[in-house]
Chain A
Amino acid sequence: MFRHLSLALHYFRLGLATEMEYRMNFFIQLITACINLAVSLGGLEIIFSHTQTLNGWTHTELLALIGVYFLMSALIHTIIQPSLQKFMEDVRGGTLDFLLLKPVEPQWLVSVRQVQVMQLANVLLGAVVITVALMRMGTAITIAHTAAFLLALTLGLIIVYCFWLMLATLVFWFLKIDNILVIFESLYEAGRWPVGIYPAWLKFILTFVVPVAFVVTVPAEALAGRLSPQTLGIGVLLAVAMLVLSRWFWRRGLRRYEGASA
């Protein structure tokens, strides 16, 4: 267990070293992120010049949601996306074998190998936005409040990791799905706003098919103090189910790659 974490840390340091080779990119990354944020905030202003609330959410609460949106996107793009992208390239390039020969659990290696340290700029940005929103909300931050938020955030990360893993595992069957991971990115755009504004069918898709709701809306609800225990409960169940499903699917894919069963 400890060895696995230590290995992940090593990959993090490696990612840092790699990006030091491309120094300029950090600042460009930060500026791009700021511009993205400005666009989101601009959109918010335009909406709120016409209304006081959106689907029951106040301006400040939506600010918190945007913060969560940026934070989660950044976390995904720090480890999950680059690692799984590299995994898919390895399968196509025939270099997965090197990874499979290492005396370490393959799923772990595949998941933590590639770290884009630059993205931490976005994490910072998201955290800043969330902090500003919380300050504006002025509500006393209770322990229960914080715990709910951290739990929702963790569940969101688990769910999104499992989802991405399952998408990436498809490469064992369909070698040519070049940009399957983009499915999430496309639908993630809808996460800029609380999923409540979408019609029932779209809400369902964004919750259970491509789990955007649990990545953004649910943690934001926790921040706004409007997270219902039922939602949290469903989140826990979904996270557990997806962990089991994605692990099974991964092992099935690996066995296929090794020519184990038909």
Chain B
Amino acid sequence: MLANLVQFYLARFRINLAVQFQYRVAMGIWMLGLILEPLVYLCVWTSVAKTQGGTVGGFGPGDFAAYYLIMLLVHHACLIWHMFEYDFIIRQGILSNRLLRPIHPIHGDISENITYKVFMLVILLPAFGLLWYLFKPEFHTTVGAVALFPFALLMAGALAFFAGWALAMAAFWTNRTAAVNQAWFVAMFFFSGQAAPLSLLPPWMQDVAFYLPFRWMYSFPIELCLGRLDTRKILHGFGTQALWILGFLIIMNFAWRSGIKRYSASGG
């Protein structure tokens, strides 16, 4: 069973790569937008810091540069777009095709997602290097923290994927998925640490952010990498990530089963 799955992933990796290579220009253009977003806020906050005489909330221009540069990596790891596709997939009957196969459709999505992330490193890593040179980030971190960062990144990626996939299930119940997705991404924008490092948000927003999954996708790995978390907080962070992953796996499962029942009932 597991061997089967591994075969599947390997085969799909090759296919996905071939397909994505065909669309490399389009994808490159998309990446441009993704890279630009953290840059914009980096420049905004740097400007604020300069106006305030050098630092704001304990962040100087070098700190902001470090924060948003790592954000670039985290944003890439947490990328998921499937919630935009499922409305189309369900309404156009493509889902029926996928259901006929002896493998759960999520595996196709996972493999597509991973292929993209690996493939686009070709653009991301040079861009990262170039931006490092241009923005001169300042890192005050430990080797240990940096060593733990990839794990936090993996957990964040998994969390983002399962959360996003659970969200995609909304397409079984409504065709206003655009609205649902917008609500999700708006919340993410503020409460994940993209608009501003969470410590710069008004206290009430920081409290809300604590209970939402977004900060564990973005803010936690970034702050870990930057060496801003003590051991207790790190352990707590990983634990919370694990809990959220578990939670979304349960939600996903439940949503999928009920969604499929609904889908089959209406003739697919």
Contacts and interface: CB of A to CB of B under 8 A. Distances in A.
A–B contact via C-beta, under 8 angstroms: yes
Interface of A: 28, 31-32, 35, 38-39, 42-43, 46-47, 49-55, 176-180, 182-183, 185-187, 189-190, 192-193, 197-199, 201-202
Given A46-B202, A189-B37, A179 B44 contact: no
Contacts of B163: none
Nearest to B23: A178
B48 interface: yes
B30 to A, nearest CB: 7
A54 B48 CA distance: 6
Contacts of B47: 54-55, 197
B178 A32 contact: yes
Nearest to B50: A55
Interface residues of B, number: 36
Contacts of B120: none
22 contacts: A32-B178, A35-B182, A42-B190, A43-B195, A46-B195, A46-B196, A47-B44, A47-B45, A47-B48, A50-B200, A51-B52, A54-B47, A54-B51, A55-B51, A177-B26, A178-B23, A178-B26, A179-B29, A186-B30, A186-B36, A197-B43, A197-B47
B186 interface: yes
Interface string B147-168: 0000000000000000000000
A189 B40 contact: yes
A201 B134 CA distance: 10
A182 B29 contact: yes
Interface string B234-258: 0000000000000000000000000
B25 interface: yes
A230 B46 CA distance: 27
